[in-house]
Amino acid sequence: MGEFSHFAADGASRMVDVGDKAVTRRMARAEGFVLMQSETMRSLQERKFSKGDVLEVARLAGIMATKRTSDLIPLCHVLPLEKVNIDFSFEVSRVRVEVSVSTEAKTGVEMESLTAVAVACLTIYDMCKSVDREMEINTIRLLEKSGGRSGHFLRDPSSEVPY
């Protein structure tokens, strides 16, 4: 296991110095799930919520969250994001949220993609909670990242979500 880069030798918190890093193309993909009752899922798919199109509101919330990640996560760098893509898919009893973020910068966009997933899932929960109090948000995780010194990471596709 490597060292924790956000701590100095004496244990003090610190922002990682990226001043000497090269600007490279950075990309990160993340996913998360909102488990819900089948009736809730049907209403979501048919866009039958009086509050409006839940998925489009969640998409907008996720995009906005990427731009505010450095305000939410201590020690996160402010990044000039170039592209954010948020997709939704319906599975047996859950909605899958997948976010892809990219830019050219000195540090990666993993936190931006994960933050967008979390906020999009929370938005779905918020807008559907009046009809389904048993929803669950789970398995928010990084799927892929590229760029930078640590290179390319791709989650093993056989590491399925255990549901």
As annotated, the active-site residues are 126
Cβ neighbours of residue 59 under 8 Å, at least 6 residues apart? Answer: 86, 88, 120
Q: How far apart are CA 143 and CA 145, in angstroms?
A: 7
Q: Hey, how many other C-beta atoms are within 10 angstroms of the C-beta on 76?
A: 18
Which of 73, 56, 52, 54 lies closest to 115, judged by CA? 73
Q: How far apart are CA 32 and CA 84, in angstroms?
A: 16
Coil vs helix vs strand at 110? helix
